[in-house]
Amino acid sequence: MSRKQFVTYLLIILTLVMIVDIRYVRSDNHLFEGFITESIEELIEMEGAVFQNNFDSDSIKAEKDGTLNLGAEFLAENEELSSFYLKNDFGSIDLRGTDNQEITIDYTLKVHAEDTEAAEEFIKDLEVIYNLEGEEIQIALNKSQTATPDLINVVEIDYQISVPRELKAELSNKYGSLNVAELESELEASNRYGSTDIDKINGPAVVSLDYGEAEISNLGSSLDLETAYTENTVRNIAGEFQLESAYGFNRLENIESDLIIDSRYGGAEISRAKDVEVNSRYTGFSFEDISGKITADIEYGDLRLRNISDLDLELRYADCTIERLRDYELYNYDLRVEYGNIEADLGGVNYDNQEELSYQGAEAEYEILIRSEYGDIEIR
């Protein structure tokens, strides 16, 4: 047999072997399997167990309900009490203000573990307790939720809480939902890896959110919201609203006082607001029905404005479109672009491919002042 024939037969045989192997054998034994050591397998199992805890009830090996009730007598004895503090490392918090002068905490403890017997033994001694620290009542589990013995992974706690509405609340939650409603006093809240719903808070609110969705509505005072990687809907804010956002999308409606936005990456839709101050990089904006002045320093990210009043914009690498002006004669225009174009339709007169546009409206009440570099301005 010649070498050529030998190579030909070898290629044919190996090709057939490869096809049969891939099609029918489907073995997992291959070169890259060698990278997987026991430590990696353990890590994969651990990660799976931990992250399934949020959603998979299989890892819950023991569960019990409990109640902590601090009645009117307790509050009367501790008159100085003005603040409620709760940190939940894993689980959910549902807190509601009521007219009753009592604190009621209904909770469900869920022990995520590798062994049912160990979990049942461990849960026996678990309960939610309180600690008074000056004017603050602190709520916690009597043991750590996360630093647990062998075979126990973590303790999940779902809280249902009612407190007197005038109590200040300081809540910190992870890996679960956070719902707060009907408080007259201040709220300080943070949530990570879970959804958040805050409604009807009359005191100032300071909220910090990472990863998740949030709905914040009907606040009677100011809101200081710091978010990253979240999708937020915020409605009906009576006081000043400061928003610091990174990598998220914010839908803001009916902001009755000043709105200050500092944004990096993401987008925002703002409708029905008064004075707005924006400092943003890489964020797209849509503004609609703004009765106050919009002052903005924007770099990268397009801007769409509808039904606006005064504008003072510094734009770089951002296109700006202005639509639905009440009446073009109600505005004075001072627009300048570098490395871009202005296109405007003012009362049927078209201004195309302009680098500057100054126009004094016959009944001017508002000012539109825009300085733009590397971006177009269009007035429709």
Partner 1 sequence: MKSLISLIKKEVRQLNILIIVSTLIIAAWEWFLITRTENWPQGLSFGLGFIPLFFMPLIMLFLAYNSYRSEWGANTIYLLKILPRRGYEINFAKVFPAFAYYLILSGALILVNLYFHQGFLEQAFRQAPEMLGREVFSEFLLLAYLSYLITGIQIYLITQFSYLVATFFNRFRLLISILVFILSHYLILRIGGFLNYLFNWLPDFPLSIFTETPAGVSETTIYIGSAPFMVIAVIMIGLFFLNSRLLASDVDV
Binding residues for partner 1 (CB under 8 A) = 3-4, 7-8, 11, 14-15, 18, 21-22, 27, 29-40, 43, 47, 50-51, 53, 89-90, 145-148, 153-154, 156, 174-175, 265, 281-282, 300, 317
Rounded Cα gap, residues 217 and 223, in angstroms: 10
DSSP state of 242: E
Residue 256 contacts residue 238 (beta carbons within 8 Å): yes
Minimum distance from residue 145 beta carbon to partner 1 (Å): 7
Contact 266, 249 (CB under 8 A): yes
Kindly report the backbone phi and psi dihedral angles of residue 242, in degrees, each rounded to the nearest multiple of 5, phi listed first: -110, 125
Instruction: Find the shortest distance in angstroms from Cβ 147 to partner 1.
Output: 7
Q: How far is the CB of 316 from partner 1 (least distance, A)?
A: 9
**Minimum separation from the CB atom of position 13 to partner 1 (A):** 10
Joined tokens for residue 158: 């779902």
In angstroms, what is the minimal distance from the CB of 228 to partner 1? Answer: 10
When the beta carbons of 57 and 291 are compared against partner 1, the nearer one is 57
Nearer to partner 1, 38 or 363 (CB): 38
CB of 124 to partner 1, least distance (A): 21
How far apart CA 224 and CA 289 sit, in angstroms, is 22
Buried b (16+ CB within 10 A) or exposed e, 259-290: bbbbbebbbbbbbbbebbbbbbbbbbbbbbeb
Tell me how crowded residue 16 is: count the other CB atoms within 10 A of its CB: 10
Distance, CA of 250 to CA of 228 (rounded, Å): 11
Closer residue to partner 1 in complex, CB, 176/361: 176
Task: Please state the closest distance from residue 1 (CB atom) to partner 1, in A.
Answer: 13
Task: Return the amino acid letter for 180.
Answer: V
Among all chains, which residue has been given the structure tokens 């993401």?
266
- Min dist CB 348 to partner 1, Å, is 38
Exposure string of 52-83, with b = 16+ CB inside 10 Å and e = fewer, is ebeeeeebbbbeeeeebebeeebbeeeeebeb
**Closest CB to partner 1 among residues 245, 309:** 245
Would you state the structure tokens that stand for residue 240, as one six-digit string?
Answer: 């000043």
Q: Decide if 281 contacts 299 (C-beta within 8 A).
A: yes
Closer to partner 1 at the Cβ: 47 or 365?
A: 47
42 or 345, CB closer to partner 1? 42
